[in-house]
């Protein structure tokens, strides 16, 4: 039977890892993800799992070891944050191009500079084009559920790609919330055993991993990788449906919160979606038709589905917890507006930058944003298209 507990986001991930009992975990500590390998190594020391923990000298080495273990046929994972992910950059690309279905627990933290240890999405957004599947959580329950779904998605025969399960540093990673945990045997049966068709330590079937690809082959390899990412969309749906059967919790590419009749929608990702939902509830009590579209899956990017979900509203606020340094907006701003244009959904769309390096994002901020959208639609007021929320003057 499922049991109620109280856990931080890091504890929830570590507990999911314990239930899955993967084969290998190389890791190097970095705030705010350090607790995850620390807790897993405690489980190992206490004999609760038989995972092989590999202490390494850097995050680059951590991902290198993870690729090696996965290539050898072991179910593998690691955890990191911020500059740790940046140091893995070369290896992230190799993990994806070598089609290694390993998992990464990413605790989102801003990248320097200036030096800061608080939350934004600079790290994962910097890795958005490395070929990894990326799934984001609003709260501790979601990060637990997402991690349990990670391997069935990544290891599917039509996918075979690495997967990044993201949560907001300190906001969820260290905050304690009520959570519902499933029984160990239920999780183990859902995730199953890893049985790769191809692996290095198979004496009867020699193979190479990561060989040099000449021009006649490299482009085809990348296209196949892109096809696998597209395939993962159906797999994410299938896994979510199966997970709902055992947990009662429903997941998809995004959550639509009070959007059915909404004139104005805020599209947002991660823990700040909770703030946006609270603001929507309060505005609904005042008769305002507003809603939240909380994006869960950023890679593969569900462009058509987002466009369809927003097609009924008059205006959307696209919220980026990351600066793209292109002079035109953030990553979500670029991709959502492209999705709207290509799918011929012509609504008012405004990109906002918020919460950088841990800056507070409040219910009042959400009120102001919805007021701006309403003013633009009803009065024709021109809105600054690319603005920072909560910036000190």
| CA proximity to 269, closest of 170, 374, 166, 161 | 166
Residue 380, φ and ψ in degrees, nearest 5:
75, 15
Q: What is the pTM of this model?
A: 0.97
Q: Above 90 in pLDDT, residue 207?
A: no
Order of strands across the sheet that contains 163-168? 77-80, 103-108, 163-168, 133-136, 297-299
| The two structure tokens encoding residue 375 | 């003013």
For residue 49, count other CB atoms closer than 10 A to its CB: 19
Which domains does the chain show, CATH number per domain? 3-247 (3.40.50.970), 254-388 (3.40.50.920)
* pLDDT digit string, tens, across residues 27-52: 999 999 999 999 999 999 999 999 99
Find, among 363, 365, 358, the residue nearest to 387 by Cα: 365
What is the per-residue pLDDT across 113-157, written as a single tens digit (0 to 9) for each?
Answer: 899 999 999 999 999 999 999 999 999 999 999 999 999 999 999
Tens digits of per-residue pLDDT, 312-329? Answer: 999 999 999 999 999 999
Residue 240's contacts (CB-CB under 8 Å, 6 or more residues apart) are 149, 250, 251, 252
């Amino acid at each position: 039977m499922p049991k109620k507990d109280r856990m931080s986001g890091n504890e929830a991930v570590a507990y999911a890892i314990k239930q899955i009992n993967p084969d290998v975990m190389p890791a190097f500590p970095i705030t705010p993800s350090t607790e995850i390998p620390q807790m897993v190594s405690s489980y190992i020391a206490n004999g609760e799992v038989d995972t092989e923990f590999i202490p390494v000298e850097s995050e680059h080495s951590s991902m290198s070891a993870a690729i090696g273990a996965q290539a050898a046929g072991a179910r593998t994972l690691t955890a990191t944050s911020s500059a740790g992910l940046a140091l893995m950059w070369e290896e992230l690309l190799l993990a994806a191009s070598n089609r290694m279905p390993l998992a990464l627990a990413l605790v989102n933290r801003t990248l320097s500079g200036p030096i800061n240890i608080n939350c934004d999405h600079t790290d994962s957004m910097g890795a958005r084009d490395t070929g990894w599947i990326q799934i984001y959580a609003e709260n501790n329950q979601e990060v637990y559920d997402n991690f349990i779904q990670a391997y069935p998605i990544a290891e599917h025969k039509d996918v075979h790609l690495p997967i990044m399960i993201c949560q907001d540093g300190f906001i969820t990673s260290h905050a304690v919330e009520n959570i519902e945990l499933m029984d160990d045997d239920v999780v183990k049966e859902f995730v199953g055993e890893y049985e790769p068709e191809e692996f290095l330590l198979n004496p009867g079937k020699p193979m190479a991993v990561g060989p040099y690809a000449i021009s006649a082959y490299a482009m085809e390899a990348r296209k196949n990788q892109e096809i696998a990412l597209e395939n993962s969309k159906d797999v994410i749906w299938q896994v979510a449906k199966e997970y709902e059967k055992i947990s009662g919790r429903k997941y998809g590419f995004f959550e639509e919160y009070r959007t059915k009749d909404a004139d104005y929608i805020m599209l947002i990702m991660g823990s700040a979606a909770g703030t946006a939902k609270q603001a929507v509830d309060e505005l609904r009590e005042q008769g305002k038709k507003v809603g939240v579209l909380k994006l869960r899956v950023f890679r593969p990017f569900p462009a058509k589905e987002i466009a369809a979900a927003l097609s009924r509203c008059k205006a959307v606020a696209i919220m980026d917890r990351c600066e793209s340094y292109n002079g035109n907006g953030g990553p979500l701003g670029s991709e959502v507006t492209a999705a709207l244009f290509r799918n011929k959904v012509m609504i008012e769309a405004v990109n906002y930058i918020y919460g950088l390096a841990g800056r507070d994002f409040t219910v009042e901020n959400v009120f102001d944003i919805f007021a701006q959208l309403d003013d633009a639609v009803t009065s024709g007021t021109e809105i600054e298209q690319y603005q920072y929320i909560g910036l000190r003057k």
